[in-house]
Each structure stands twice: as C-alpha cells, then as structure tokens.
A and B are shown apart, each in its own frame.
Chain A
Amino acid sequence: MTDTAPGLPRLGTTLFSLTLEQRRAGGDLAGLVREVAARDLGPGLEMVAFQSLRGWPRLSPEQEREVRGVLDSSGLTPSCLAINNDLGLYPGRLLSDDESYEYVAVQLRGAAALGFPVARVGVETGPAILERLLPLAEQLGVKVGVEIHAPLTIEAAPVAALKELFTRLDTPWLGFVPDMSASMRAVPDAVDDAHRVAGIAPELTALTKQLWAEPGPTMAKFPELERRAAEAGATPPQVGNLKMLFTMHGRMAPERWADFFPHVVHVHGKFYGIVEGPDGLTDPSIDWPAVARVLREQGYDGVVSSEYEAHAYSDRYSAFDQIRAQHDMLKRLLEAEPAVAAR
C-alpha cells in the first residue's frame, strides 16, 4: 500500500481508472482488485457501481457475498462507491422526486451492504433529495457525497445551494466529493491522440487549448470557439469534440477547494498523466502541490482516490503505471507539507 503518514490524507484507487482493462473480454472484478492490491495501489478502493457490478443495484445474495469476499481478501479498504441517479430513465420525462429518492436509496442500501463508507452521487441529486436521504445515510452509516466535477466550480448556483444545505444541516453524513477536473491548469496532452483519431487538425486542438487557457469564464468562450473552429474548417461533430474540452476540464483555482471544507467526505484525484520533470514526477495539467497544500491545511484525512481518465483519450499509457506515479508524487507532496494547524 502507498501508506501516507498518520493524520494525512490516505491514497487509493478507483477502478474507473481501469475502464479499458474492464472493457476487455475475460477480465473479472476479482482479478482486477487483486492486481490493484498486488501493485500496492491502495489502501482505498473505489468503484463505479454501474460499471463494475453487473446487475447493480439488484445483486443476488451470492453476488453480494462474492463482492464482499473480493474486497475482504484484497487487503484494500473500500473507500467510496460511485452511484448514479438516472433522472432520464424514462423517455419524455424526468424521474419524480419520489422516484429519484427511491432510485438512490436502493443504491445507498447496496453500498452499505458491500461495506462502502461513502457513496458518490452527481449534482443531479439536488438539495431536496439529499435532505430526504439524510436519515437513511445516518442509519446505514454511509456518507453521501456530491461530486464537484468540471464544468462546476465554487461559483456555480447548484454548488452554492449545496453549500448552504450542508452548512444548515451541519451533518457529517452529507458533503462534497471534489474532483480535480474542476481545477486544472492546462488541457491534458492526451487529447491530441483522440483528436488525431477523430481527424481533428492539430491547429484546431491548439486553438482550443489556447482559448481554454485565456482568462475569463469558460462558458463565455463557447461562441468564440464555435466561430473560430468553424472558420478553420471544423465539422459540427468536430466542434462538439472541441467543446467537450471546455466542459471536461475546469479552470477553478485549486486554492478554492478550501471553500468546500469542512464538508468534504471524499476526494477524486482525477488526473490525465504524470510525467518526469526536472524536479521529479509532475502533472502538467493539475497543480498537485497547490491541492496537497489545501488538503493539509484543512486537516483532511479521508481518501484521495486516484482517478486516471486519459483512457478516454488514449490507450497509449498503462493506467497502473500512471497511478503508481501519481501515488509516489502525492505521498511526497503530502508528507512535505508542514504540520496541520489545529482547527
């Protein structure tokens, strides 16, 4: 395990990092979890329920025993189960509040049965449903965390509403799951591979990266991106791919994560590639020294789940090796930060 010193944030892995490995035929959950453990990529283990658990949320008792057995025998510690609230389950309408509550409640019970201490939901699970879920979360001993993923930032209206809710309820059972996609310093280079495959000219990718890096709210840059990309000959699907770079990669200052505390129940260590720099391992697209500083200053001692997502753009790199590199980098950064001031 990549154990950090006591009192520091703990490291871990989400199986989402291994999406391509899970897509491959013949792979099974037990083998994948064993490999994460064998490569010392714990102690925390997270997974996406609708990705890694066939039949979720209606697991048979045998399946449930099997998954628990895999987790218990791995030596890893279940950290978080990512669940979903499929508001668009039925064509032509969204789930009602009652349906939405039930859809999540069943999964919360499932998370508890598998021994996960935190369940991640998306921002589509809003304050009213969260408040209804609170008694169940408390009874089950499962915290519910709302993931703050790009394009959300601290300024977004839904985030402000959540912050108000968590402050008012003052409960450890509801909170945020910061995802580093919201606070990036550059568009990752791995997108170049995906754009090459999609036939997008390198100049278009460069233009998008340049617009992305300019100051100002990302949402306000869409018209200029559309206009300039179209002028440069991009087809509508290609413009869609370029716009995706704006929505998947947020530009919030990493220091702003401090504003989400003390209501942070889990952290997604989203990343797209660690490289060897002049001063050791570094991440060109995420400012991890700044993130580590916030986590130490806030006294966070929960799990940072390594969430490698460049597999969406490229299959050129080993996700296992990338997580190893991120763990080595994070351990060094977290342990180098000065001792936490008492809060």
Chain B
Amino acid sequence: MFDRYIVCEEGFRALDDGRTGGVVEVRMPYYRGLALSMVEAVDLVVDGRPVPPARTSFTVHGNTYRFDQLPRTTDDRWEMGERAQLAFETDEPLAPGEHEVAVAVRLRISYMPVPSGGRDSKRLTLAA
C-alpha cells in the first residue's frame, strides 16, 4: 500500500566511516509501527546487484542493529513514517551520480495470511 514511500529520495550518501558503501534511508510500508522482531527482511539491490544482508545494518532513532539481531528485538520499534538508515558495504566505492536503488521490505503481520511488506525502486543521486 505504501510501497512508493519506502525509498527516501533524500539522504542517500556514501559511508563516512572509512568503509566503502553507502546509506539509503527507508520507511515502513505499513500504516503503523512494528517491533523490529516483525521486520523479516529489508533486501537491498544497488545498480542491479543484491547486497547480502550480512553487509548491511539497520538504524532506527540512533539504535543500530545487524539483521541477525532483529528477530530478537521486541522492545524497539520502526515507527510509521520514521526514516531508518540502511547502511551497506560495497567492494568498490560508490561513484558520484545516479544509482538505481531497490528495496524490498518483508513484514510479519500476524493477521495477514501471507507475509506482507512492499517493494520500491528509485534512482537516487549521490553527491560528488
């Protein structure tokens, strides 16, 4: 339903901690906030290349998690409309200019018969 709001047009940037890679800001494709344990996956594809979850991390309101920590995290929440920072490592530095960024979010919503979520893809510009 809210797929087109997943990938934020602003905030796309290179990592600034010495590693190569970037940060894309993402929003929940749902009408309310969910505990992080109910976020099954946030799959990222940059310029057609899938980024393994082990090379990404997920930050909400300053709290950073590896994806293998999310299933146990029942006391923190990704709120509706809240921009989470999806940081990812790449082998080569990201070139300035346009990149195709695709994100698929899978959510475990108890009253839905099938896994829920959404997907979005946008061309984002990395400043030089």
Chain A contacts to B: CB under 8 angstroms = 16, 19, 22-25, 48, 50-51, 54-56, 84-91, 94, 122-124, 194, 197-198, 237, 312-313
Contact = CB atoms under 8 A, between A and B. Distances in A.
B123 to A, nearest CB: 16
B37 A90 contact: yes
A267 to B, nearest CB: 19
Interface of B: 1-5, 27, 31-35, 37-38, 40, 71, 74, 77, 79-81, 108-111, 119
Contacts of B80: 19, 22-23, 50-51
Contacts of B1: 194, 312-313
Contact of B31 (A51, A89, A237): A51
A91 B37 contact: yes
Interface of B is mostly: loop
Contacts, number: 64
Of the candidates B1, B3, B119, the one having the most CB atoms from chain A within 10 angstroms of its own CB is B1
A48 B38 contact: no
A108 to B, nearest CB: 18
Nearest to A22: B81
Contacts of A24: 81
A87 B111 CA distance: 8
Given A88-B38, A89-B35, 7 more contacts: A22-B81, A50-B32, A54-B79, A85-B110, A89-B37, A91-B37, A122-B111
B35 A51 contact: no
Nearest to A82: B32
A123 B111 CA distance: 8
